[in-house]
Amino acid sequence: MYPPLGDTEWVNGDKQILIELILNGQQGEQIIKGEKYTEEMPKADYLTNKEIADVLTYIRSHFGNNSSPITAKEVGMIRLANKKK
């Protein structure tokens, strides 16, 4: 139903893409590891920068992932840049 969290480029890749996914949500079809996913991800921009960083860091370091942490400062910079768009 929903894309896997383990060992995927969208989790372990560019931090900005993952942060923007939480801030802006996601609609439409996605192909992850050859599988099609169409469920909507609502935005969670009501979470604090620290809450978003904590959740994404957890995901990036569990489920078979071993990627670098995401900081509240990184989330804040992307949130601010999105507001200026």
At 51, which amino acid appears? E
* 3-state SS, residue 35: strand
Any domain includes 51: yes
d(CA 52, CA 76): 10
Tell me the average pLDDT of the chain.
Answer: 92
User: How many structural domains comprise the chain?
Assistant: 1
**Does residue 2 or residue 69 have the better pLDDT?**
69
Any domain includes 38: yes
Any domain includes 50: yes
Indicate yes or no: pTM above 0.85: yes
For residue 62, what is the domain's CATH number? Answer: 1.10.760.10
Is residue 29's pLDDT more than 90? no
Structure tokens, 31: 């192909």
pLDDT confidence bin for 32, thresholds 50/70/90: confident
d(CA 82, CA 13): 19
| Residue span of the structural domain in which 44 resides | 9-84
